[in-house]
């Protein structure tokens, strides 16, 4: 197991060997993944999805074209619907391409606390949009869930992951449904001019990154948008000619490809992953996302600890008893423990003896190490498909708390970016932190398409 050296040294050999043996028994990759093999498998799924419809890894064409000119001083309404929050604002770019955000509001995402029917969902959205129509009739809607995009840049939601109860809106056109709700409310007349573009959060991250690249005059060979937060997803710029499943679409030009990489059907999964998947709202769906995204890391840890306390003597009886009563084995609790294992907290307080803390620390590091390997193979798979020129770095626009708010995970991922992507594959990455990329990317999309 390739744990950070200071952590490896802090764990006694008997604890290390016992945890290692337990994890290996349940098919955990303690020796690490074969990064070349896993990268190749990811790339093969990506390319298969360019040629075929209804694939496990969805590979949705966004129909969002990439243009060099971004209009300035033109306002758009932007909506950002994510796993937890619904944000809305108006945005325009000044003459220096700096985004000016106004009228910002944040609300909880409908469907978090219980099922919401389609008409109620869009009536709620229309209530937020209506007051802003006096500023613009152009709406960029970043919809951060699996969505089948159409050439008219509307989208049909797929069944929901992240345990959001919104399946009433599945396969209903998002833009058309919002327009109908605005008409229902009287905020819009049927003949009024109104344009809306739907895009995914990974597409928005990429477009927002292109805006940052333009604003800062950066020189890069290519750009990838990467979501690593509650869920995970990846977008990149593809030649239309390579998207052979689009039979009647123009073969010239480029568009942003929404890979829906969280749906990648990863085969090399542990027993803990299988246990977790079986308990989710949609088993056998978003398998890759369930292995390492922020929504599921805490659940994964809970599966590992439950088996460890029931099958082994890795932990004390006091730890096992406390775990049974604990309902807070969350990703946040895991992050707090891994950054400060000696500080009182939800997970630290479970530990009754030093070996409890040592075994728990090793397990959470094993989760972060494996997560970093998976993320690395994801990016490497896109890079080896694109094969960009190596004379300039590739911009990797990262949006999500898993990378920027998890220092330990970031250390692991940066390690694999260096040891594999740079030293083995030969690609230099320029990491661009996403700043309001969903809002900014949605603005770029509606103003340029």
pLDDT of residue 83: 79
Sketch the domain layout of the chain as residue ranges. Answer: 65-204+438-448
pLDDT of residue 297: 97
Cα→Cα distances 353→316, 336, 413, Å? 7, 19, 31
Domain 65-204+438-448 has CATH 3.30.420.40: yes
pLDDT of residue 162: 59
Structure tokens at 328: 């807070």
Structure tokens at 420: 């594999």
Q: Per-residue pLDDT tens for 6-60?
A: 788 999 999 999 999 999 999 999 999 999 999 999 999 999 999 999 899 999 9
Structure tokens at 212: 């940052």
pLDDT of residue 368: 97
Report yes or no: 50 and 243 within 8 Å, Cβ to Cβ.
yes
Where the chain has pLDDT below 70, the residues are 1, 161-163
What is the reported pTM? 0.91
Q: What are phi and psi of 432, to 5 degrees?
A: -110, 110
């Amino acid at each position: 197991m390739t744990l950070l050296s200071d952590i490896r040294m802090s764990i006694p050999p008997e604890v290390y060997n016992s945890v290692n043996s337990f994890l290996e028994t349940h098919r955990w990759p303690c020796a690490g993944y074969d990064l070349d093999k896993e990268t190749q498998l990811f790339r093969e799924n990506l390319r298969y999805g360019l040629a075929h419809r209804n694939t496990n890894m969805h590979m949705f064409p966004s129909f969002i074209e990439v243009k060099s000119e971004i209009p300035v001083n033109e306002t758009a309404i932007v909506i950002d619907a994510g796993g937890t929050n619904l944000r809305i604002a108006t945005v325009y770019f000044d003459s220096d391409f700096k985004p000016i955000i106004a009228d910002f509001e944040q609300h909880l995402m409908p469907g978090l606390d219980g099922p919401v029917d389609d008409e109620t969902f869009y009536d709620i959205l229309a209530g937020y949009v209506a007051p802003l129509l006096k500023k613009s009739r152009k709406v960029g809607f970043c919809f951060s869930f699996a969505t089948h995009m159409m050439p008219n840049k509307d989208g049909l939601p797929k069944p929901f992951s992240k345990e959001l109860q919104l399946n009433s809106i599945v396969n209903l056109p998002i833009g058309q449904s919002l327009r109908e709700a605005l008409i229902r409310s009287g905020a819009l007349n049927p003949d009024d001019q109104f344009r809306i573009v739907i895009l995914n959060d990974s597409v928005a991250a990429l477009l927002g990154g292109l805006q940052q690249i333009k604003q800062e005059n950066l020189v890069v060979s290519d750009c990838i948008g990467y979501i690593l937060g509650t869920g995970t997803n990846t977008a990149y710029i593809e030649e239309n000619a390579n998207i052979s499943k689009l039979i009647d679409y123009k073969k010239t030009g480029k568009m942003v490809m929404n890979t829906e990489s969280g749906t990648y059907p990863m085969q090399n999964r542990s027993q803990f992953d299988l246990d977790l998947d079986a308990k989710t709202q949609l088993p056998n769906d978003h398998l890759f996302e369930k292995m390492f995204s922020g929504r599921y890391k805490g659940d994964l840890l809970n599966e590992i600890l439950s088996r460890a306390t029931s099958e082994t003597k890795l932990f004390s009886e006091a730890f096992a008893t406390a775990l049974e009563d604990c309902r807070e084995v969350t990703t946040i609790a895991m992050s707090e423990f891994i950054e400060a294992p000696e500080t009182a907290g939800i997970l630290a307080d479970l530990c009754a003896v030093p070996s409890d803390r040592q075994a728990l620390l090793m397990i959470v590091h094993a989760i972060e190490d494996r997560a970093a390997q998976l993320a690395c193979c994801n990016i490497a798979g896109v890079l080896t498909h694109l094969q960009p020129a190596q004379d300039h770095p590739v911009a990797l626009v990262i949006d999500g708390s898993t990378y920027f708010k998890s220092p330990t995970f970031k250390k692991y991922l940066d390690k694999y970016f260096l040891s594999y992507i740079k030293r083995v594959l030969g690609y230099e990455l320029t990491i661009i932190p996403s700043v309001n990329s969903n809002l900014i990317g949605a603005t770029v999309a509606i103003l340029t398409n």
